[in-house]
Each structure stands twice: as C-alpha cells, then as structure tokens.
Amino acid sequence: MKTNLLLLSFFFSTSIFAACSVSPEPLPNDEDETETPLTDIGSGEINGYKVVWEDKFNDGTLDETNRWSVEVNGNGGGNSELQYYRRENISVGTEPVSGAGCLIITAKKESFSGKTCTSGRLTTQNKMTVKYGKIEARIKLPKTANGLWPAFWMLGADITTYGWPKCGETDILEMGNANGIKNNTQEKYFNGACHWGESWNNGSYPNYAKATTNAYSLQDDFHLYTLIWDETAIKMYLDLDKYPNNTPYYEMAINGEDVAGNPRRYFHKQGFVIFNLAVGGNFPQIWDITKITALAAGDAKMYVDFIKVYQKGATGEELNSKIKTALPSVSAAAKQFEIYPVPANGYLKIKGEATPAIVNIYSMNGQQLISQKNTNQLAVTDLQSGNYTVQIIDINGKSETHTFIKK
C-alpha cells in the first residue's frame, strides 16, 4: 500500500515481485502438536517480548481519542484507487462466525462524491508511534476476487517532514495483486514489502517486495500477521500462533551503512500503523468498477480481531502513545527484583536487596492503575481478575518490568 502521493510505477511490473510457491510452513499432520489459537492471544509474550500497546476492539466503539484517526478522502491513495474513504465505512462490531469483537472495514459499490465505491482507512498517526518491537494483527480478509486490496502496513512518523518515500514504508500484509488474479491464486497470493529513498524520482526509488503463494487460503478465516523489527532486520511471519516455528515470508537487513539509499537510513525511526481496504488501482491493475468482481454480490468486509505491539525494553526501542505504557524505553538489565505471590490476591510483594523507589501497576492496555513510592508491597485487592504489568524503578532510576495474574 502506498501513501497519498504519485503513482508507484513498480506495481505495473510483475517482475518486481520475487514470487514464491512455498508456504512459510506446511500444514501440520495429525501427529504435530499444535494448539488452536484463542482469540486476543496472538503469538504471545515470549522471547522477552511484553505487550506495550494493543486494541482488542471488544467494547463496540472505536477509540478515536487515544488510538485511531479515520481518514476521509477520495484522492486514490496515490495509486489510482477507485474508492472514497468514509468514516461511515469504519465500525467496531462482531464477526458473525466467530463472535469475536472486531474492527470492521466495509467496501461498498456506491456512488459518492464522484467515486464509484466507498471503503475505509484508519491510522495511529499522532496517537501511537513505535520504533522496534513485534507488531501483529489477527485479520480475516474478504474474498478479494478481482479488485480488492486489503493492507496492514506502516509509514515513518516523519512523513509530514520529509514526505514519501524518505519516511520509509513497511507493508506487513497486502493481498489482491494482479499476479494472483492472473494465476487464479487470489486467496493464497500475498506480499510483504519495504519502500524507501530520498525522493520519488519518477518511480526510481529503492524497494524490496516479495510475494508468496501460500499453501492454504488466507481468505477463509482469521490469520495472524506478525512483524518483528529490531536494529538488524525486518522480518514478517504468518500464523505464528498456530505454527510457532514458521520461517519469515519476508526478511530484509537494515544494519548496513548509513548512507542515502541504504535501508539503514530509513528504518531506524518511529512509525505508525495503517489498516485499509482499497478498491482497484495499480496493485490489482483494475481501474473500472464494472470489473471489480469482489463487490458484484454486495459489500465486502475486512475484520481485525486485535492488534498488539510488543517490546523487550531493549536499547533503541521507542514508543509514543496517548495510552501510557508499562515498559521502559531504557535497556532492561538483569532483573534485581522478584515479585510474589503469582497469582496474587490481597498483596503483591517485592523482594530485592533494596526497597524500590517507585512501583507502578498497569493494565495490559497501558493504563496506570497504582503508583507507590518506597514500598515493597502493594495492595491489589481492588484490581479485577486478569493480567497486569508491574514497573519497578530503583533509587538510581533503573527500571524493570514483571507481569502477574490477579486472582
């Protein structure tokens, strides 16, 4: 997915994609020990990652105060797309098969403000930006057939200063490309991509896009799309909740020389998240609404069960959000404190060589619930049952985090 600038000529060329006919991981056989994923879980807090920001879309309303901004425009997204993006096409509700609370983006064949169809696009710009971490969303895609272009992607937060492509772009999921239509593999053909460079330069800018023809349909149910981004590389994974040993469907090194044109210059800064469902345009190479077969039988819906941002508290990580987060932005040294009992009921106690200077307890969506100074125990009786994060700061200002369960 491209930002709202000029047409990106690389989409006209089918040779730019490195097509792959192998699934990131074969489907398991009957002897494989795999777990059925639970809604709102994702790939989990493993390998040192902790959730620092999330939206589960469970309360029936979209948080436009602290999390999301809905775009309203009909400028074609810089790719000759056919839709007009409207607020009315964004909602929070229930996916009818699973019953999961979801963000819902609806594409409709209708005339509006000179356009032949409408759809939705929303971003976390100016409300949540992140540098490094694990960012994932569980999405149920519509049948793209011929013409729909759903996407889960990121842009550099400095786009308002430097423009595109200098801001950098990371496409975690795109579906609906013309190659998939041509090969009749629309439900399995998807891509990840990165775009960068000093200027548009009439389409001559650096980019790396890779397409995969998956072994199974990605338009039949929810699937998990995960970006793991650190100082060395950008990697993208499919369905880590079901197949945790999957290899990346996309990987690009970003630790080279810091010079113009090298990825290192463009992918070591904060970015924001975007979800949208485009109709037509340069990616599917369809510019006539009568040829958009995906909308012939009615509206099409893209469901997002949740989005989660995880970080480790490692050097270089950053997160700016209107929702305060529990993890520190400084390096997480060897932990000097222990918390007990876990699960906790009446009191949560802290064991260490010295009494903590500050102890904060946060909900898993980052809301601070308790803050106390110079204490080694906190009353948690009034907390509801569930998972919480504890931030412990010592007298030298060093911070570490723990998680616990309240009975």
Catalytic residues: 169, 174
- The number of C-alpha atoms within 13 Å of 291 and in the hemisphere containing its C-beta is 11
| CA atoms of 320 and 271, how far apart (whole Å) | 10
Would you list the DSSP string of 32-80? Answer: S---PPPTTTTT-S-TT-EEEEEE---SSS--TTTT-EE--B-SGGGTT
| Strand arrangement, sheet containing 377-379 | 338-340, 347-351, 377-379
Looking at residue 344, the DSSP 8-state letter turns out to be: B
Q: CB-based contacts of 226: which residues, under 8 Å, 6+ apart? A: 42, 43, 134, 135, 136, 172, 236, 237, 238, 240
Short-list 207, 146, 276, 160, CA closest to 8? 207
| CA atoms of 173 and 139, how far apart (whole Å) | 10
Q: CB-based contacts of 126: which residues, under 8 Å, 6+ apart? A: 69, 272
Tokens representing residue 297 in the block: 């039988």
CB 208 within 8 A of CB 173: no
